[in-house]
Chains A and B, each alone.
Chain A
Amino acid sequence: MNTQQFVTLKKTDKNFKSYLEGSFSHELRALPELSLNVNTAREQVTFRLQKTEEIKKPNLLILLFKLFRIDWLSLSLGPVLATYSYLFVNDLSIDHSSAYLALIAVIFFHSAVFAINDYKDHVTGVDRLQLTGGSQVIQKGWIAAYNVRRLGILLFILGSLIGGYLILQQPIFLVAVGVLTSLSVLGYSFYGQGLKYLGFGEVIAFFCFGPLLTYGFSRAASHFHSLEIVGLGIGFGYFAAMILLARQMENIASDAKLGIKSLTVRLGFDKAKKLIEYTLVLSPFVLFLTLHFIVKANLSYFALLPFSYFSIKLYLNFRSVSSSFSSGVEGLRLKIADLHVIYSTLVLFSLWLQS
Chain B
Amino acid sequence: MFILTLKELDWLRLHARKSESMINIKYYDSNDFPRYLPKLNALYDDLFFSGKGFRSKLVGLAAKHLKLEDKTYILLAQTIEFIHNASLLHDDLIDRSHLRRNKPTAWLKYSPEYAVLAGDYLLARVMVNLSSFGNLKLIQYTAEIISNLLEGEWIQDSLVNDWSVNLERLDQVHNLKTASLFKWCLRAPFVAKEIYDDELHELLDNSGSILGLLFQRSDDLLDFDIRNFEGKAILGDLKSGYLNSFGAYLLEELKQKQIEPFKNSQTLDDLYSAIGREYFDERLAEFDHKNKSLINLYSHYMTQLESKDFEGIKDYTKDLKNLPDILYWRNVKK
Q: Which A residues are closer than 8 A to B by beta carbons?
A: 3-4, 6, 8, 10, 33, 35-37, 40, 43-44, 46, 48, 131, 253-254, 322-323, 325-328, 330
Contact = CB atoms under 8 A, between A and B. Distances in A.
Which of A6, A10, A35, A36 has the most chain B CB within a 10 Å cutoff?
A: A36
Contact of B300 (A6, A327, A330): A6
Contacts of B206: 35, 37, 40, 46
B158 A36 contact: no
What does DSSP make chain B's interface, helix, strand, loop or mixed? helix
B199 A44 contact: yes
Contacts of A36: 171-172, 175, 179, 209
Given A325-B155, A326-B158, A37 B209 contact: yes
Contacts of A35: 206
Nearest to A129: B172
Contacts of B201: 40
Contacts of B155: 253, 323, 325
A3 B162 CA distance: 37
A327 to B, nearest CB: 3
A175 to B, nearest CB: 46
Nearest to A323: B158
A328 B102 CA distance: 36
A254 B164 CA distance: 20
Closest CB pairs A-B (n = 4): A327-B164, A323-B158, A6-B300, A36-B175
B297 A6 contact: yes
B150 to A, nearest CB: 14
B228 interface: no
A3 B169 contact: no
Given A36-B172, A37-B206, A3 B199 contact: no
B202 A44 contact: yes
A36 B208 CA distance: 11
Given A8-B301, A36-B171, A40-B206, 6 more contacts: A36-B175, A40-B201, A323-B154, A325-B158, A326-B165, A327-B164
B281 to A, nearest CB: 24
Nearest to B175: A36
Nearest to A37: B205
A199 B179 CA distance: 32
Contacts of A327: 162-166, 169
30 contacts: A6-B297, A8-B300, A8-B301, A33-B297, A35-B206, A36-B171, A36-B179, A37-B175, A37-B202, A40-B202, A43-B202, A44-B199, A46-B301, A131-B168, A131-B169, A253-B172, A322-B159, A323-B154, A323-B158, A325-B158, A325-B165, A325-B172, A327-B163, A327-B165, A327-B166, A327-B169, A328-B164, A330-B164, A330-B165, A330-B166
Interface string B140-178: 000000000000001100110011111011011101000
Interface string B179-217: 100000000000000000011011001100100000000
Given A8-B304, A330-B164, A325 B296 contact: no
Contacts of A323: 154-155, 158-159
Given A46-B300, A325-B165, A40 B158 contact: no
A43 to B, nearest CB: 6
Contacts of B293: 4
A325 B198 CA distance: 30
Contacts of B166: 327, 330
Nearest to A131: B168
A321 B297 CA distance: 34
Contacts of B163: 327
A330 B171 CA distance: 15
A3 B295 CA distance: 12
Given A323-B155, A325-B158, A6 B296 contact: yes
A236 to B, nearest CB: 30
Contacts of B168: 131
Contacts of B296: 3-4, 6
B197 to A, nearest CB: 11
A43 B158 contact: no
Contacts of B179: 36
Contacts of A4: 293, 296-297
A327 B243 CA distance: 12
A34 B179 CA distance: 16
A48 B300 CA distance: 10
A254 B176 CA distance: 12
Given A36-B171, A36-B172, A37-B209, A326 B199 contact: no
A294 B159 CA distance: 44
A327 B166 CA distance: 7
Nearest to B206: A37
Nearest to A36: B175
A83 B18 CA distance: 79
A32 B217 CA distance: 23
Nearest to B160: A322
Contacts of A254: 172
B297 A46 contact: yes
Nearest to A48: B297
Given A36-B209, A40-B202, A325 B173 contact: yes
Contacts of B173: 325
A36 B168 CA distance: 10
